Amino acid sequence: MPLPPNFNEASPEDRNAIAKVWMKRGIALLSANDAAALPEALQCFEQALAIRRDLPFEASSWFRWLLTACWMNRGDVLTRLGKPDDLIAAVQSFDDAIFHLQKLPLEEDSQYRGRLALAWMNRSLALRAQATPESLHAVLQSLDHGKTVIEQSVTAQLPVNAALLPILLINRAALLLEVSPPRMLEALQVTEEALILCRPTEHLNLQAAEIGLKARHAFCRAVALLLETPPVDTSRADDWIMQATDKVDEAMQLTARWENQGAAAPFHALRHELFRYGCSLLLAYQPHFMAEFLLDVLDSEQGSPLLAQDAELCRAGLEALNLAAVELRRRGPLDLGLHGLERLINLLESLNQARERIQKHCAQRSTTP
């Protein structure tokens, strides 16, 4: 789009109107989620940036605010492009956004702190994509800055978007499991913080539900690493296992509720991963609880009928039951303490009964028109 004649002599408002056209075009391209459109979107944001950098933002918070939008969107595109040079440029773009956001009168409008927190969070995503030990350390610092901004917004009684903090916490928990060595205990604590924020609304709000499921997923990953990384703290292992299986149970109940509303499709991948994790955890450490867990999820008379109709969950459940029976036989009655043989027979019978009930429901599903 060519600039009009005498553009440099136009008023700041008229020049910004041209920048706004470039911004809208860039946002439309970015929203298309088409990788092929990203270079053009970048050009649009850079055109808008070139105009807004020359506006009198030192004398106008409004023009500075508009300038930060250019830096933010430019950084977003560069992060999505994902090449090493793009990621370095993305971090610099977010740094420029942060510089100008910090010069805004933060006490006047909650949007200022909200975008500032988001800039720190987006900066962390660009750093995380670089995937170097140095960049991962910088990610944690960026998230710490973002959390501080959110906390300050509460103190100033200008709260930002309520979803920002739990999203930040989930990103931090995931990162704590990626650094070397992983910081599992910190990740457990961070996921619990996120769940405290999500639980009150996760049955009513889809975004809160998604964050809550991701928090439980990160918690389970942290427990898996704790149990796999020597030396294992045996005094705490049983408690970790109990908490993790509770998280899986909660996730199944939560997704079942959203299934009843026909809105659980975005959660299917997380649900299946958590279900398989629950099966794996019980198989490795508590196979005697496998039947109870699977019936709670897959028996339509005990759990959600909609979950019981999921063919993939049924297959995974039946496989887990067979593996649990093999594992219990391998361990033998001595592993079950007093009256071990009797307990082993009863446990194997409970697994068999659970298998029959789940097979029945799977068969009913396959024959239902």
What's this model's pTM, rounded to 2 decimal places?
0.84
pLDDT of residue 369: 46
In 3D space, the residue among 341, 249, 235 whose CA is nearest the CA of residue 289 turns out to be 249
Given a cut of 90, whether residue 92 has pLDDT beyond it is yes
Of the candidates 358, 336, 355, 356, the residue with the CA atom closest to the CA atom of residue 345: 336
Give yes or no for residue 353 having a pLDDT over 50: yes
Nearest CA among 47, 50, 53, 91 for reference residue 72: 91
> 3: which DSSP letter?
P
Q: Which of 57-71, 140-154, 212-226, 319-333 has the lowest mean pLDDT?
A: 319-333
Is residue 286 over pLDDT 90?
A: no
Check: CB of residue 314 under 8 Å from CB of residue 358. yes
- CA–CA gap between residue 282 and residue 245 (Å, rounded): 8
More confident residue, 330 or 165: 165
Share of residues in the chain with pLDDT > 90 (%): 60
Distance CA 120, CA 15 (A): 29
Separation CA 329–CA 341 (nearest Å): 10
Among 296, 298, 301, 210, residue whose Cα is nearest residue 246: 296
Rounded-to-integer distance, Cα 171 and Cα 121, Å: 9
